[in-house]
Structure formats: structure tokens, C-alpha cells
Amino acid sequence: MYQVDVYKRNWNKYSQIIREGLIPPIEKNYLWLGKKVNERTNPPFLASVVKVDSSLWKKIQEIQADIEIIDSRQEFFHPTYFHTTLGEFGWKDQVDYNKIKQKMEDIVLDFTPFELKIKGLNCFERIIYAQVFDKNRILRSIYYRMLEEFPFLEKRFPEYIPHVSIVKINTEEAKDVIDQVEHKYREVVIGETMVDNIQIVSVRPYLSVGRIKTEDKIFLCD
């Protein structure tokens, strides 16, 4: 019930913002850790993620295609990008990769493979996402362990909300998108997947197909 309540509060807050056209304007020169996020001369930034198994891509793409018919102005993420983020470490030239990898290996030693269920769409101000249900809260446990080991990690929300981003809202209103999500996809079942590894990836935000590249897979203990 914990995750259901969190997702419900999140939907009530952000769907109203989108429906009423109250989305803040996009900051074209948005800075993160001293760099313009979409500057093509940047090195990639490093993050830890759980990738969505390719067996679930088709269902997500079918949903994206339906939403695109409603409003093609938005950005629809490529399936190679489908993932749940645990943490963003920073630009590759500003962090020590070997230390990050070692600490992540130490963290996952305490966890065994676990199951996730991806069900229902939700939203933030500029993102439509699929909800990720984690019955035993393993993702949440790993996330808070990471905050202990990497105190510089950004806490993006009052609480950790696992999700898979599928659409980025590029406009200052997207009422038709939200109406379609509410009408057809709030309870859609996308599927279940077993997680046996956490990936360290390099991310280039300005790309589409090649936005995420896997640097290392850190396997959970059997």
C-alpha cells in the first residue's frame, strides 16, 4: 500500500499542474554541476540504473505510439533508454569512476535478485512515466544505502519514487496527453521482470538512440 499511496499523491499533484497549463517554462540553458546539460561538447555523466528488460519494450512502445497520435509535439524516449534511476554521480571528468564502482560493488553485496512489476502510468511536471512496484522495497533500500556512501547525490523528490520515463513533455500544456493517460493507462499492466544486476551507465542527454551506454554491470549475490 505504501507505493500505491505515494504514486496516487504524485498523480494528483502533477496531473493537475499539466492539465491546467501550469508547467514551468523549460530552461534552455539549464545548468547541472557547472555544465549546460545539453551541450554536445560535454563528457557523459555517470549514473546507476536498473535497465528495463527488452521483453517489455514492445508494450511500452505501443503506449508511446498511442500517445504520439494524441500529441506528436512531445519527446518519446527510445527503448534503449528505458530504465529506473538509482543515482546520478556527476560528469565523467568530475568523479572517480573506480571509487564509484567499488562502492557500488560493496553495496549490492547485501542484496539478492528481486522482482519488479511495471504497472500504470503517472507523471511529473514534464515526464510521463511507468510506475515500478517493488514489493520488498529493494530499490529503495539500495537507494538509501547509496545516499550514505555518496552524500553528494541529489535527492530529487521528498521520497524515492522508482519510475521508467517514457515521454518528455516539451510544451507548456499537455492536457490531451494527461486525459489519454487517465482514460486508458493509469492501471495498464506492462509486465514483470527479475533484476539480477545494477548498471553503471554513461549518459549523453542530447542524444536519443545512444543516450545511455553501459559501462559496467554489477551483479547481485545469488
For the residues of 67-129, what is the DSSP string, one character each?
Answer: HHHH-TTSEE--GGG-EEEEEEEEEGGGS-HHHHHHHHHHHHTT---EEEEEEEEEE-SSEEE
Residue 119 has pLDDT above 90, yes or no: yes
- Could you tell me the domains of the chain? 2-219 (3.90.1140.10)
- What's the pLDDT band for 154 if we cut at 50, 70, 90? confident
List, in sequence order, every beta strand (DSSP E) within the chain: 31-32, 35-36, 45-51, 75-76, 83-91, 114-123, 127-133, 163-168, 189-195, 197-203, 212-219
pTM above 0.85, yes or no: yes
Give residue-wise pLDDT tens across range 169-212.
999 989 999 999 999 999 999 999 999 999 999 999 999 999 99
